[in-house]
């Protein structure tokens, strides 16, 4: 469903992703692990089209999207939920979800009460709120809900476009053990055919949800395999203990 072939990106003299290839099957839960600065966020930026790759190729469902804009990739089913807070804090949960659904359905030209009351938009909002466990909080302002609920709302916003591929950058960062538990329940409740790629720092959490794990270090993929193999890999352990050094 999502393929990257030999992606490379440099900022000046600093190469931040190099020879990155991955292939994520339809419905797969892929976790991308790696220490700070390994290039995980940059990889996401390349995949969604926020950054152009210097070289390499990206495909969604077999179609080459490397030259396409972020919007064009979104129309082909790519969505991303952000590490940073990306909500309209003055608006309610319902209004946030409605705006996202109206945009995704091309009904936001006159963003106003009319588009937000549209039956198709309202239906999507109901569905997404239920998927991310926010039905009870629909009328609450986004700045009054807990941090964990805000993170779930961000996922809801990304889902409102009914993506085929969802990229999540550290969706559980800073939400505490209870929030993490709720987030994992949310992940398990998402449609089985949705392809999900998650950047996650915590290995145990990653192993709990991953079908397959990709480990990055110094901008390169250094491991790609099932969670159990990642858990047993001396290389992966070394990277996490900080004793692995880049080979010349
Ligand atoms: N726009 C930019 N200009 C210059 N350097 C950048 C830019 N964006 C990222 N970098 C550098 O690229 C490297 C990889 O950063 P990136 O954010 O992709 O890593 P990461 O694995 O997501 O790390 P973290 O877990 O801390 O978010 C870092 O050294 C970072 O400083």
Structure confidence by residue, pLDDT tens digits, 175-231: 877 778 788 888 888 999 999 999 987 777 778 889 999 999 899 999 999 988 888
The string of pLDDT tens digits covering residues 6-21 is 999 999 889 999 999 9
15 Cβ closer than 6 Å to some ligand 1 atom: no
Residue minimizing CA distance to atom 6 of ligand 1: 11
Q: For residue 217, with 0-12 CB atoms within 10 Å meaning exposed, 13-18 middle and 19 or more buried, which class applies?
A: buried
Residue 114 binned pLDDT confidence (cut-offs 50, 70, 90): low
Q: Are residues 13 and 52 in the same domain?
A: yes
The answer to whether residue 213 sits within a structural domain is yes
Same-domain check for residues 173 and 68: yes
Comparing 103 with 111, which gets the higher pLDDT?
Answer: 103
Q: What is the dihedral of CA 196, 202, 203, 204, to 10 degrees?
A: -100
Q: What is the pLDDT of residues 57-103, one digit of tens each?
A: 999 999 999 999 998 999 899 998 876 666 777 889 999 999 888 88
- Asked if 179 and 73 sit in the same domain, the reply is yes
For the ranges 21-25, 112-116, 134-138, 157-161, the lowest mean pLDDT is seen at: 112-116
The answer to whether residue 122 sits within a structural domain is yes
| Same domain (yes/no): 173, 245 | yes
| 180 and 68 within one domain | yes
Which structure tokens are listed for 125?
């909002």
| Ligand 1 atom at minimal distance to the Cα of residue 11 | 4
* pLDDT score recorded for residue 93: 94
Q: Same domain for 66 and 171?
A: yes
pLDDT digits (tens, 9 = 90+) for 150-178: 888 999 999 988 899 999 988 888 887 77
Same domain, 71 and 183: yes
Domain final position from 99, 125, 160: 160
Q: Is the CB of 11 under 6 A from ligand 1?
A: yes
Report whether 31 contacts 209 (CB < 8 A). Answer: yes
| Residue range 140-155: mean pLDDT, rounded | 89
194 lines ligand 1 (CB under 6 A): no
The pLDDT value recorded for residue 1 is 93
CATH number for the domain spanning 221: value is 3.40.50.300
In a domain, 175, yes or no: yes
Q: Which atom of ligand 1 is nearest to the CA of 43?
A: 18
| Nearest CA residue ID for atom 7, ligand 1 | 11
Residues 10 and 121 grouped into a single domain: no
User: Residue 107: pLDDT above 90?
Assistant: no
The verdict on 153 and 169 lying in the same domain is: no
Question: How many structural domains is the chain composed of?
Answer: 2
- Report CA(228)–ligand 1 centroid distance (Å): 28
Do 100 and 144 lie in one domain? The reply is yes
Same domain for 62 and 105? no
User: Per-residue pLDDT tens for 229-240?
Assistant: 888 888 888 877
- Residue 41 and residue 22 share a domain: yes
Residue 190 lies in a domain: yes
Give Cα separations from 135 to 29, 77, 116, 207 (angstroms): 25, 25, 17, 29
* ipTM exceeding 0.90, yes/no: yes
Quick one: pLDDT at residue 115?
61
- Which residues span the domain enclosing 141? 91-160
């Amino acid at each position: 469903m999502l393929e990257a072939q030999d992606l490379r990106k440099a900022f000046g003299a600093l190469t931040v992703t190099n020879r990155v290839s991955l292939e994520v099957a339809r419905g797969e839960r892929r976790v991308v692990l790696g220490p700070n600065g390994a290039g995980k966020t940059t990889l996401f930026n390349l995949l969604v089209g926020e950054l152009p790759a210097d070289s390499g190729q990206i495909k969604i469902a077999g179609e080459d999207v490397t030259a396409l804009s972020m919007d064009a990739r979104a129309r082909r089913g790519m969505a991303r939920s952000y590490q940073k807070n990306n909500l309209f804090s003055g608006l309610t949960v319902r209004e946030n979800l409605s705006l996202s659904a109206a945009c995704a359905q091309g009904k936001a030209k006159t963003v106003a009460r009319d588009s937000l009351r549209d039956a198709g938009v309202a239906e999507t909002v109901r569905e997404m709120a239920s998927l991310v466990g926010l039905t009870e909080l629909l009328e609450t302002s986004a700045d009054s809900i807990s941090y964990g609920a805000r993170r779930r709302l961000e996922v809801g916003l990304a889902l409102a476009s009914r993506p085929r591929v969802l990229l999540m950058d550290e969706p559980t960062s800073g939400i505490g053990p209870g929030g993490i538990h709720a987030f994992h329940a949310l992940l398990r409740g998402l449609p089985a055919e949705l392809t999900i790629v998650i950047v996650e720092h915590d290995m145990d959490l990653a192993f709990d949800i991953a079908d397959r794990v990709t480990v990055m270090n110094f901008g390169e993929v250094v491991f790609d395999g099932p969670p159990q193999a990642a858990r047993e890999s001396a290389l992966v352990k070394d990277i996490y203990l900080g004793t692995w050094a880049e080979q010349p």
